[in-house]
């Protein structure tokens, strides 16, 4: 999914969250007129998105590097992002209350209330991301399994952590390492890119760039910026296409 499209979808989801909260009127807000509730909860929902989203994106990026489960890092990121969000909501309440410093008990209670809503919305986005990651790969795996004599899984999969052992959708060279992208996430392997490609055991794909190999079935679309071409892959990944490779790939129907 392209970055712009993903953000638009996220914003639509956040609008729905704000609308539901305005209708329900939690934490004593139901007494306010609906128009004011809607304005308040939409503002808080979008403020939360712009505070929580960078934290969640950072957790996703750090998970493979730290070799930690992505859900655990999302939970930690949610706890941290709730701190500034608590301050934002407390300041927003000054719209109808006189400004004052909270007591320790009030601050903790307010943090917990914000955390409950933040965790629920983060969980919603987590499951949406997982569904998007797994669906394209499931189709790719099914297509490859139908080929006569195709191996169930390539040798390279044996090198991956247990939670990532599925068909790779792309390989990316990073210094002396190869990042193996899968629908469940990515990890780094200390090996050369050409050796990693050799262990894919003839999975349909191509070296689209000197530092990228891409599985044929993982390509969802193409993004062009002038002469630059990038392949959009499952899981929101984008792989650059070398200009020297573009004519051959286009002739083979990649884009």
Dig out the tokens for 63 from the structure. Answer: 């998970």
- For 55, list phi and psi in degrees, rounded to 5: -65, -40
Q: Which CATH architecture has domain 155-251?
A: Beta Barrel (2.40)
The helix or strand, by DSSP H or E, that contains position 13, with its residue range, turns out to be: helix 3-24
Q: How many CB atoms lie within 10 A of CB 74?
A: 23
User: Do residues 144 and 194 make contact, with C-beta atoms less than 8 angstroms apart?
Assistant: no
Terminal Cα distance for the chain, rounded: 16
Q: What pLDDT tens digit does each residue of the chain (255 aa) get?
A: 445 677 788 888 899 999 999 999 888 788 888 998 899 999 999 999 999 988 988 887 787 667 677 788 889 999 999 999 999 998 888 776 777 888 999 999 999 999 999 999 888 887 776 655 444 444 444 444 334 444 468 899 989 988 888 899 999 998 888 999 998 889 999 999 999 999 998 889 999 999 999 998 888 888 888 888 999 887 788 999 998 888 888 888 887
Domain with CATH 2.40.50.1020 in the chain: 155-251
Residue bearing tokens 């499951």: 127
Name residue 156's beta-bridge partners.
Answer: none
pTM of the model: 0.52
Beta bridge partners of 177: 174
């Amino acid at each position: 999914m392209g970055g712009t499209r993903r953000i638009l979808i996220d914003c639509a989801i956040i609008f729905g969250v704000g609308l539901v909260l305005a209708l329900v009127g939690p934490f004593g807000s139901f007494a306010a007129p609906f128009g004011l509730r809607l304005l308040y909860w939409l503002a808080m929902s979008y403020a939360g998105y712009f505070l929580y989203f960078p934290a969640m994106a950072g957790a996703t990026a750090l998970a493979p590097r730290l070799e930690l489960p992505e859900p655990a890092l999302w939970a930690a990121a949610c706890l941290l992002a709730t701190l500034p969000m608590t301050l934002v909501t407390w300041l927003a309440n000054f719209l109808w209350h006189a400004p004052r410093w909270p007591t320790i008990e009030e601050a903790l209670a307010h943090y917990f209330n914000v955390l409950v809503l933040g965790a629920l919305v983060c969980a919603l986005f987590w499951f949406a991301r997982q569904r998007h990651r797994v669906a394209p790969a499931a189709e790719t795996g099914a297509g490859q399994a139908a080929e006569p004599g195709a191996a169930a899984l390539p040798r390279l999969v044996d090198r991956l952590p247990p939670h990532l052992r599925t068909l790779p959708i792309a390989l990316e060279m990073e210094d002396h390492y190869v990042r193996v992208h899968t629908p469940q996430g990515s990890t780094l392997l200390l090996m050369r890119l050409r050796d990693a490609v050799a262990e894919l055991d003839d999975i349909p794909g191509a070296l689209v760039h000197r530092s990228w190999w891409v599985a044929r079935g993982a390509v969802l679309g193409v993004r062009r910026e002038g002469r630059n071409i990038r392949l959009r892959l499952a899981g929101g990944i984008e792989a650059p296409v070398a200009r020297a490779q573009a004519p051959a790939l286009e002739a083979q129907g990649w884009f």
